[in-house]
Chain A
Amino acid sequence: MTYSAPTQPQLGVVGWLRWMWRQLTSMRTALFLLLLLALGAVPGSTFPQRSLDSARTAQWIADHPTAGPWLDRLGFFEVYASPWFSAIYLLLFISLIGCVLPRTKILWHQVRSAPPKAPGRLERLSAHTTAEVDLPPEQALAEARSALRAKRYRVHAHDESTLSAEKGYLREAGNLVFHVALIGVIIGVASGYLFGWRGDVIVPVGQTFANTLIRYDTFSPGPWVDPTALTPYTVRLDSMDVTFESEVQGRGQFGMPRDFTATTTFTPDGGTPRTEIVKVNGPLETGNGTVFLLGNGYSAKVTVRDADGTVVYRDSTPFLPMDNFYKSSGAIKVLRAGGDLGFSGFFLPTGTIDEQGPRSLFPDLLDPGLVLTAYEGELYPNANPQSVYSLDTSGMKQLVDDKTKEPLRLWLKVGDTAQLPGGRGSITFDGVERFAGFSIRTDPGKSLTLVSSLLALAGLVASLVIRRRRVFVRVTADEGRSLVSVGGLGKGDDDGIADEIAQILARLPRTP
């Protein structure tokens, strides 16, 4: 007995590609990808994300030495830029395009061609009614036609005794608009990423910010942005007014921010200066970037003198707020011959030191204090860039109290001067000023994104509200009168089709 392997048709390369395309563009795949997209987005909310909070991300990885690095490799701290998340939405969009194109073609043909011929037996349709009309067949048909027209049907007569009518093409059109608009949203988001930039800068009261690259504390341009081509307008911070909740004592309310207002003088490139208010919900449009007020805090004005009383440092140093009561951390870096001095610690707007350590009791300046530890040595031991808000103490030695031999801790109120041990001079806390944290951003894609998403919404509503219906009419002569038979067909769940037919028949002159 000989076996011959069953011969199967060979798919070939093109066949396989076609098969894959069919699979990808099938509704089931789209459904699966949609659910996968929802699922894939979740880790971005449960794990800290590097682009949002790099410090918290680093902390999380440090706290979880086993899982941290693995999750990092798998992109869990940069979910929305990870290859697997990108793969999901790119496949989804390819699937979407593959679905939209043929459907557009079908709709195009349907709109251009007449509604199909009436089926032989109208009573087989999902809704059907017959009525006797006191008119000759031709007139009955004409009446039926105008009744259908009045209900906004496209009407076509394939022969003498029937009418074919259809309406609700906008349902499918809306559906297609919705899907195409989603592609618009993606393009808008992508172009915002490619052509947009954002820069952050801390501006103390009284100082002026100029829109040039070097003036920014951080600047993140999109890949296709020329960062040297910024328009050099200036923004001077005239005053920074803040209000915090001091009346309501309920939980979670005391000390909450109530109002932030930055009063600025904005001078456009080559223009005249004008006063502009920047608030949290009221950004300033400059023509080259929008200025948002995203933060505020305090700078400590500090003077450091050497043993002879000569001023070696006098500057205002911003401290970054860490909690709702503006306990703020920062570092004062004093470069000098014979060993740099570095101070790091906290600024407390309403400061106290108790069993919980140094903390602030209220975010406003009721009793400001500085808590500092001091270091001596090399501030910049290697060429690595370092944060202005923290010290790199790898090349430094902590100063100790002459008497107690404990690490030196300074607790300064405004006006206080403390002597540094070993005849190193003194440090004076001269005062406090506020700063505003401005974020200047451009997003050339945002209009496209907005228009596309509104179109998507309009398309969605149309596709859910509008009914696609076909109605067929057949008229047969019956002794001078006419027998009008109407059948209707609705797409999807259409409970109203019988009602619709009744309404159409109601427009015909009745038999008494």
Chain B
Amino acid sequence: MTDQTLATYSNLSIYSAMAVLTLAMILYAVHLARLMPSKEREPKRELVPVGAEVGAVGTDAGVGIAAGDSASTLTGGAIDCGWGNLVEEAWVEPAGARKAAGMAWMLTLLGTALVVLGVALRAAEVHRWPLGNMYEFAIVGSMFALLVYCGWALRRDLRWLGLFVVTPVLLTLGLAITVWYTDAAELMPSLKSVWLAIHVTVATLSVALFGIGASIALIYLIKDRVPLTGKLGFLRRLPEGPALEKLAYGLHIVAFPLWTFTLIAGAIWARQAWGAYWNWDPKEVWTFVIWAVYAAYLHARATTGVSRRAATWIAVAGFACIIINYAVVNMWFVGQHSYSGIS
């Protein structure tokens, strides 16, 4: 196949992925809408704190080891409590909601496969690691976000999260193929390095993780603030606030070391390509700013007297910095990282 054919197929693959993901997005929305509590079936949920449950069972000496076993399942479910076994007894998920989520999940898998295909074809087309310009960063970032979501959703029930991952991914892909699209080309000399594969891959992966983290953080902040009635009633079907907050934290503590690694790998590469490991180039400045903001988030979370809400806001601010770093710094700031391919 010629590069031109590969390019056509790669773009076709991304367009198809967008079509499929749009359907997935709609079905995830339907899923959430059907979870809305109807008046006659208002659930009588009574959440028992996990620790208390374990303790209560545990004091019954006769149960013995069995108590330990149930403790483990309960803790497993503690993160998605409000969704797990505890609630199921009180409230049965409507069949329509389940059906919509099932279809959405299959479509998400298909869409993910198509994005992976699009990235692979792009790599074949350009004969290199497909991370040389903004278009490529965007499609690879979307791919990572989808892969992380799919991989994670295999291990726990994340149907409620689907909408909030697929929608930003669709937005990114849309911007990529319209605004950031760049014809395949060879790299400029400073990018020809093994560090491209290391530094940019890890950077993109951690941005994908931060992105999902920011999605959950926002759900937490909204759910915590608005009255859960009327149109926002579906929020009650989402995991409880503290569980959401912990999920967001869990993603951030994976993404943060990856980001730290990005910073270090970037410095090693900068020394190789530009002669100094740190030049206070705008992109470096913003990478550092993002690092400092997320470091502040982790500190805030460990500081007594700072509420989880306030800490989570810092995490959201961190993602805002990532968006600035990607969309503004690449395009408008003069620096050595001017690789957008758009001029």
A contacts, CB < 8 Å to B: 27-28, 30-31, 34-35, 37-38, 41-42, 44-46, 48-49, 51-53, 56, 79-80, 123, 126-132, 189, 198, 245, 248-253, 256-260, 279-283, 290, 292, 294, 324, 439, 441, 443, 446, 449-450, 453-454, 456-457, 460-461, 464, 483, 492-493, 495-496, 498-499, 501-503, 505-506, 510-511
With contact pairs A35-B292, A510-B65 given, residues A252 and B343 touching in the complex (Cβ less than 8 Å): yes
Nearest A residue (CB) for B190 = A280
The answer to whether A123 touches B78 (Cβ under 8 A) is: no
User: Which one, B58, B193, B272, B286, contacts A129 given CB within 8 A?
Assistant: B58
With contact pairs A253-B182, A260-B189, A498-B54 given, residues A454 and B285 touching in the complex (Cβ less than 8 Å): no
Which size class do B's interface residues fall under? 35 or more
- How far apart are the CA atoms of A324 and B54 in the complex, in Å? 68
Inside 8 A of A258's CB, which chain B residues have their CB?
186-189
Is B278 positioned at the interface, with any CB of A under 8 Å from its CB? yes
* Top 4 A-B residue pairs of the complex, sorted by shortest distance between their CB atoms: A250-B183, A502-B68, A45-B282, A38-B292
- How far apart are the CA atoms of A251 and B282 in the complex, in Å? 23
Inside 8 A of A502's CB, which chain B residues have their CB?
65, 68-69, 71-72
Inside 8 A of A189's CB, which chain B residues have their CB?
278
Stretch of B15-23, B28-36, B140-148, B295-303 lying at the A interface:
B295-303
The answer to whether B275 touches A441 (Cβ under 8 A) is: yes
Given contacts A44-B285, A498-B51, A510-B64, 19 further A-B contacts (CB under 8 A): A27-B304, A28-B305, A35-B293, A35-B314, A38-B288, A52-B281, A130-B64, A131-B64, A248-B183, A252-B343, A253-B183, A443-B277, A450-B267, A457-B261, A464-B256, A464-B257, A493-B246, A503-B68, A505-B68
Minimum CB–CB distance from B329 to chain A (whole Å) comes to 7
- How far apart are the CA atoms of A30 and B292 in the complex, in Å? 11
Inside 8 A of B74's CB, which chain A residues have their CB?
498
Inside 8 A of A252's CB, which chain B residues have their CB?
182, 340-343
Is B185 positioned at the interface, with any CB of A under 8 Å from its CB? yes
Inside 8 A of A37's CB, which chain B residues have their CB?
292
Q: Identify 19 residue pairs between A and B in the complex whose beta-carbon atoms are under 8 Å apart, listed by A's number.
A: A31-B300, A38-B292, A38-B293, A41-B288, A44-B280, A49-B280, A53-B334, A131-B65, A245-B185, A252-B341, A294-B274, A294-B275, A443-B271, A449-B267, A449-B277, A453-B267, A454-B264, A498-B51, A498-B71
Q: Please, what's the 1-or-0 string for B51-63, where 1 marks a CB less than 8 Å from any CB in chain A?
A: 1001100110100
Inside 8 A of A510's CB, which chain B residues have their CB?
64-65
Inside 8 A of B306's CB, which chain A residues have their CB?
28, 31
From 59 to 87 in chain B, residues with beta carbon under 8 angstroms from any chain A beta carbon are 59, 61, 64-65, 67-69, 71-72, 74-76, 78-79
Nearest B residue (CB) for A196 = B276
User: Which one, B249, B285, B293, contacts A493 given CB within 8 A?
Assistant: B249
Inside 8 A of B335's CB, which chain A residues have their CB?
45
Minimum CB–CB distance from B71 to chain A (whole Å) comes to 4
Q: Please, what's the 1-or-0 string for B305-337, where 1 marks a CB less than 8 Å from any CB in chain A?
A: 110000000100000010000000100011100
Is B253 positioned at the interface, with any CB of A under 8 Å from its CB? yes
The answer to whether A457 touches B273 (Cβ under 8 A) is: no
Minimum CB–CB distance from A42 to chain B (whole Å) comes to 6
- How far apart are the CA atoms of A240 and B136 in the complex, in Å? 31
The answer to whether A250 touches B302 (Cβ under 8 A) is: no
Q: Please, what's the 1-or-0 string for B1-31, where 1 marks a CB less than 8 Å from any CB in chain A?
A: 0000000000000000000000000000000
Inside 8 A of A129's CB, which chain B residues have their CB?
54, 58, 67-68, 71
- How far apart are the CA atoms of A211 and B69 in the complex, in Å? 73
The answer to whether B333 touches A46 (Cβ under 8 A) is: yes
- How far apart are the CA atoms of A135 and B290 in the complex, in Å? 57
The answer to whether B264 touches A279 (Cβ under 8 A) is: no
Nearest B residue (CB) for A42 = B289
- How far apart are the CA atoms of A506 and B192 in the complex, in Å? 55
The answer to whether A30 touches B285 (Cβ under 8 A) is: no
Minimum CB–CB distance from A95 to chain B (whole Å) comes to 11
Q: Please, what's the 1-or-0 string for B239-252, where 1 marks a CB less than 8 Å from any CB in chain A?
A: 00000001001000
Nearest A residue (CB) for B62 = A132
- How far apart are the CA atoms of A131 and B264 in the complex, in Å? 50
With contact pairs A35-B314, A498-B74 given, residues A439 and B275 touching in the complex (Cβ less than 8 Å): yes
- How far apart are the CA atoms of A511 and B59 in the complex, in Å? 17
Nearest B residue (CB) for A324 = B343
With contact pairs A52-B280, A449-B277 given, residues A41 and B285 touching in the complex (Cβ less than 8 Å): yes
- How far apart are the CA atoms of A316 and B256 in the complex, in Å? 53
The answer to whether A253 touches B299 (Cβ under 8 A) is: no
Nearest A residue (CB) for B305 = A28
The answer to whether A498 touches B75 (Cβ under 8 A) is: yes
With contact pairs A41-B289, A41-B292, A253-B183 given, residues A281 and B193 touching in the complex (Cβ less than 8 Å): yes
Is B170 positioned at the interface, with any CB of A under 8 Å from its CB? no
Is B260 positioned at the interface, with any CB of A under 8 Å from its CB? yes
Nearest B residue (CB) for A34 = B296
Inside 8 A of A131's CB, which chain B residues have their CB?
61, 64-65, 67-68
Inside 8 A of B268's CB, which chain A residues have their CB?
450
User: Which one, A28, A46, A245, A457, contacts B257 given CB within 8 A?
Assistant: A457
Inside 8 A of B71's CB, which chain A residues have their CB?
127, 129, 498-499, 501-502
The answer to whether B65 touches A292 (Cβ under 8 A) is: no
The answer to whether A460 touches B260 (Cβ under 8 A) is: yes
Minimum CB–CB distance from B10 to chain A (whole Å) comes to 14
Nearest B residue (CB) for A499 = B72
Nearest B residue (CB) for A43 = B285
Nearest A residue (CB) for B50 = A498
Inside 8 A of B188's CB, which chain A residues have their CB?
256-258
Inside 8 A of A454's CB, which chain B residues have their CB?
264
Is B279 positioned at the interface, with any CB of A under 8 Å from its CB? yes
Inside 8 A of A56's CB, which chain B residues have their CB?
334
Residue with the highest number of chain B CB atoms closer than 10 Å, among A44, A49, A260: A44
User: Which one, B79, B189, B261, B264, contacts A495 given CB within 8 A?
Assistant: B79
The answer to whether A130 touches B59 (Cβ under 8 A) is: yes
Inside 8 A of B302's CB, which chain A residues have their CB?
27, 492
- How far apart are the CA atoms of A44 and B278 in the complex, in Å? 13
- How far apart are the CA atoms of A45 and B283 in the complex, in Å? 8
Minimum CB–CB distance from B7 to chain A (whole Å) comes to 11
The answer to whether B264 touches A457 (Cβ under 8 A) is: yes
With contact pairs A38-B292, A248-B185, A460-B257 given, residues A31 and B303 touching in the complex (Cβ less than 8 Å): yes
- How far apart are the CA atoms of A46 and B343 in the complex, in Å? 19
The answer to whether B333 touches A45 (Cβ under 8 A) is: yes
The answer to whether A506 touches B65 (Cβ under 8 A) is: yes
Inside 8 A of B185's CB, which chain A residues have their CB?
245, 248, 250, 253, 256
The answer to whether A281 touches B272 (Cβ under 8 A) is: yes
- How far apart are the CA atoms of A113 and B264 in the complex, in Å? 37
Minimum CB–CB distance from B74 to chain A (whole Å) comes to 7
- How far apart are the CA atoms of A443 and B183 in the complex, in Å? 39
User: Which one, A281, A457, A483, A493, contacts B192 given CB within 8 A?
Assistant: A281
Inside 8 A of A46's CB, which chain B residues have their CB?
333
Nearest A residue (CB) for B57 = A129
Nearest A residue (CB) for B292 = A38
The answer to whether B64 touches A511 (Cβ under 8 A) is: yes
The answer to whether A464 touches B253 (Cβ under 8 A) is: yes
Inside 8 A of B67's CB, which chain A residues have their CB?
129-131
User: Which one, A27, A123, A132, contacts B55 given CB within 8 A?
Assistant: A123
The answer to whether B68 touches A28 (Cβ under 8 A) is: no
Inside 8 A of B59's CB, which chain A residues have their CB?
123, 128, 130
- How far apart are the CA atoms of A245 and B189 in the complex, in Å? 11
- How far apart are the CA atoms of A294 and B279 in the complex, in Å? 14
Minimum CB–CB distance from A93 to chain B (whole Å) comes to 13
Nearest B residue (CB) for A122 = B58
